[in-house]
């Protein structure tokens, strides 16, 4: 049995502006739940289900990034996905995802530098 546990931002900007820590805590809780679910699947011998769950979440984050989201949430989610693959023992996937995180971080830095340059000029 496989199911999809995708991380998503359910709070709007207006919701999180009144209580900024609630959005962060909710997101951290969702990441912890994802990792806990992966660990539980592994302990129960359901590595394939755990890999399906990680892959589904990877695809979800990839769609967010392709749509223009470039925040700490995407990087943190990729990091948790890499930890999940590490727990499974799939080091090839860990390397692939960590390369994505590194590339993602570099792209974000370049975009930020371009934005700062545009402001200064």
* pLDDT for position 94: 87
> Does the pLDDT at position 65 exceed 80?
yes
Q: How confident is the model at residue 50 (pLDDT cuts 50, 70, 90)?
A: very high
Tokens 């997101």 found at: 27
How far is residue 115 CA from its own chain's centroid? Answer: 24
Q: In the predicted model, what is the mean pLDDT of residues 11-19?
A: 36
Tell me the C-alpha distance between 76 and 87, whole Å: 17
**Residue 37 structure tokens:** 């679910």
Whole-number average pLDDT of the chain: 78
Length of the chain: 121
Contact, 27 vs 73, CB < 8 A? yes
Model confidence over 91-116: pLDDT tens digits?
A: 889 888 888 777 777 776 776 677 77
């Amino acid at each position: 049995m496989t199911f999809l546990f995708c991380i998503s931002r359910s709070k709007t900007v207006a919701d999180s502006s009144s209580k900024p820590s609630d959005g962060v805590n909710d997101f951290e809780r969702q990441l912890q739940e994802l990792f806990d679910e992966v660990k539980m699947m592994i302990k129960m011998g359901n590595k394939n289900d755990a890999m399906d769950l990680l892959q589904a979440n990877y695809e979800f984050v990839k769609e967010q990034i392709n749509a223009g989201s470039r925040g700490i949430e995407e990087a943190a989610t990729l990091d948790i996905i890499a930890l999940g693959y590490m727990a499974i023992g799939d080091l090839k996937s860990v390397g692939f995802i960590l390369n994505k995180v590194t590339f993602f971080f570099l792209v974000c830095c370049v975009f930020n530098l371009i934005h700062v340059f545009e402001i200064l000029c």
